Amino acid sequence: MLAEARLITKRAEGRARLVRADPAALARAQDLLRSYEDLWRGRIDRLDALLAEPSAETPRRDDAGAPASLPPSVN
């Protein structure tokens, strides 16, 4: 897969298979992956902030997790 992406090259030398990385290609791949990481971190941060906001549509719950308008269950 790395060879197909041209991040490395492989060549046979006798019984040995030599693998060489392409530093420029790896740097480009790292930049691309970093941009996706930044994108997803931003989205996750926004989702986290959204989920932390109280919502008027979400019913309030007591400490046990039951809706606040219902009495606590008795076992």
Ordered DSSP codes for 45-60? HHHHHHHHS--SSSPP
Say if CB 19 and CB 10 are below 8 A apart. Answer: yes
Q: How confident is the model over 58-64, as a mean pLDDT?
A: 67
Threshold 0.75, pTM exceeds:
no
Measured CA to CA, the distance from residue 67 to residue 38 in angstroms comes to 38
Say if CB 7 and CB 29 are below 8 A apart. Answer: yes
For the stretch 18-39, what's the b/e string if a residue is b when 16 or more beta carbons lie within 10 angstroms of its beta carbon?
Answer: eeeeeeeeeeeeeeeeeeeeee
Mean pLDDT of all residues belonging to the chain: 86
pLDDT band, residue 70 (cuts 50/70/90): low
